[in-house]
Structure 1
Amino acid sequence: MAMQSQLAVAETATVKTNFDATWLGFGGVHGGLLLATLAEAAAKHVDSIPIGISAHMYAPVQPGEVEIALDVVRAGRTGSVSATIEGRATALVRTSREAFGNRTWPKVNPVAAEQHPEQLEPLVLPVDFVPFSQYVDIRPVNSARPFAGGPDPEFIVWIRLRENYGLTEQGRAAVLLDALPPGLFATMTSPVLIPTIEMTAHFAPTSNSGSDWYYLRHRTAWSTADLSVDETELFTATGELAAQARQLRRIVRKG
């Protein structure tokens, strides 16, 4: 038995995927799609669902075919799989073979269930600047806008993917968690490159809301001249917490 367990832990595989240029973000493939791809590849490899992911980004991933190296770190009902794009990104994905059950502490956002996103004006991000924005529908709730020089580094929006794009529930959540610009952009009046260098996300069980809309809060928790951390919460249309994320970003300043 010990020999079989050791062999399972050492199990590796390589899968290929193709990133389309229309999913570019700031300089490379959109970080949320990258996170979703790594999480789904790892979970599929061990016939499980992703429940959490911690990813480190070293360089932008460019469009085209890439190879993802998968390594089973720990097998079992709750496992761990390493997913790596050599020289670009690596992630540790926590997986579960058990279907999500009922939540003991259902964190509910009552505001979400009371609002109607279709009645709000859309936020249109320039597709030539961030091509992936063509795939999301964003309806701001608060007054924050990118480069409006506002007082608070926080965006509150309704958001949805325009289509499913073949993603799982957790994959869609991963994309939406990274769909907004850095919270600091709400306080700025001109662009600054602020790439994500580390992102951790956790996915929660939810009931069927009957809607493709999500309520999202995204803010900068702290920043210095060189670094910042963003925190994000994603709720279903009926107010259930669907996913949370925390991102460490590098602030690239000229001069």
Structure 2
Amino acid sequence: MTGRAAGAGAWTFDDSWRAFAGLEGGLVLGALAEAAHRVAAGHARPGASVAVRTVQTHHLRPVDTGEAFTALAHPWRTGGTTSLHLTAEQGGETRVVGQALVGATPGPPDEHPARPLPDGPDEGEPLVLPVDFVPVSQHVEIRAVGPGRPLAGGSDPRLAAWVRVREAAVVPDPHVALGLLVDVLPPSLYATATAPAVMPTVELTLHLHGAPPAAGAWLRMEQWTDLVDGYGCVDEAVLHDEAGRVVARARQTRRMTRR
């Protein structure tokens, strides 16, 4: 089961939403983005709309599945630009901290220029990730495009795919759905590897271009490794909708665990 628990900002996800070490980090980011949007809207002037522009999270400890966590947003500053401090609390502990930037606008966000995309969802190859390794993958439909594939031993640490939430009614909030999608592809280094490795998210930053799309929409995600060293790696990603408009950009730090 998944969804809002008792009280605004409280969420529970069962073990089917687990990634490497706990609940998928993108879901936590999405819940914090929803909290930031809700709190900022409560401070906006009458008739004004608000849009989450940036959310950054640092994952101090995994959020456990099967237990409620609370997404909290505290405004440092409100107005045309609202800055909020974010925390995800579970079991009396702070598991995730972050910040959000929310912009107040007098109407709907401006449309961003579209560009032709090289393919569509129907041209993608269904990509099924091992559910026992990443259970959360069962909740997302992934259709790989381009040359890169996980664990193919290629030369370029880059993955591309069309992705969407399988059951939009299960994750109806668009911020949470977008957070799920932006974190669902394997690390881009998997395109150059032949065996999986545990690489949990320790930092995730999402820049939104306008309001997030409705849950269930197809998005084309391209993700590549920008930096790698002895600690971990940094992945960059860009997401477009089917019309070719940029929906979001993301930057994620992954830690390489040593057994």
TM range (shorter): 0.7 to 0.9
Structure 1 or 2, whichever has the larger Rg, is 1
Distance of aligned partners of 1:153 and 1:77 in 2 relative to their CA distance in 1, 3 Å threshold? same
CA distance in 2, matches of 1:206, 1:41: 15
**Which one of the candidate residues 99, 109, 114 is aligned to 1:108?**
114
Runs of 4 or more consecutive aligned structure 1 residues displaced over 4 Å after TM superposition: 206-209
* Partner in structure 1 of residue 85 of structure 2: 82
C-alpha contact 1:14 1:70 (8 A) present in aligned 2: no
Q: Read off the aligned partner of 1:127 and give its amino acid letter.
A: V
CA distance in 1, matches of 2:172, 2:82: 21
C-alpha contact 1:192 1:253 (8 A) present in aligned 2: no
CA distance in 1, matches of 2:86, 2:28: 11
Shift in Å, 1:140: 0.8
**Which one of the candidate residues 230, 235, 243 is aligned to 1:238?**
243
CA distance in 2, matches of 1:154, 1:126: 19
**Which one of the candidate residues 46, 58, 72 is aligned to 2:75?**
72
How many pairs are equivalent?
A: 237
Alignment of 1:1-255 (within 5 A): 15-47=9-41, 48-63=50-65, 64-85=67-88, 86-98=93-105, 99-103=107-111, 106-112=112-118, 115-164=119-168, 165-205=170-210, 212-254=217-259
Shift in Å, 1:181: 0.9
Which ranges in structure 1 are unaligned for 5 or more consecutive residues? Answer: 1-12
CA distance in 2, matches of 1:250, 1:40: 26
Q: Read off the aligned partner of 1:44 and give its amino acid letter.
A: R
Q: Read off the aligned partner of 1:46 and give its amino acid letter.
A: A
Shift in Å, 1:214: 1.1
What is the DSSP-based 3-state SS (H/G/I as helix, E as strand, rest coil) of the residue aligned with 2:196? coil
Which ranges in structure 2 are unaligned for 5 or more consecutive residues? Answer: 1-6, 42-49
C-alpha contact 2:227 2:235 (8 A) present in aligned 1: yes
CA distance in 2, matches of 1:50, 1:220: 26
Distance of aligned partners of 1:110 and 1:15 in 2 relative to their CA distance in 1, 3 Å threshold? closer
Higher mean C-alpha deviation, range 240-249 or range 89-98: 89-98
Shift in Å, 1:125: 0.7
Distance of aligned partners of 1:158 and 1:15 in 2 relative to their CA distance in 1, 3 Å threshold? closer
CA distance in 2, matches of 1:230, 1:107: 24
Q: RMSD of the TM alignment (CA)?
A: 2.3
Q: Read off the aligned partner of 1:82 and give its amino acid letter.
A: H
Shift in Å, 1:135: 1.2
Structure 2 length normalisation: TM-score? Answer: 0.83
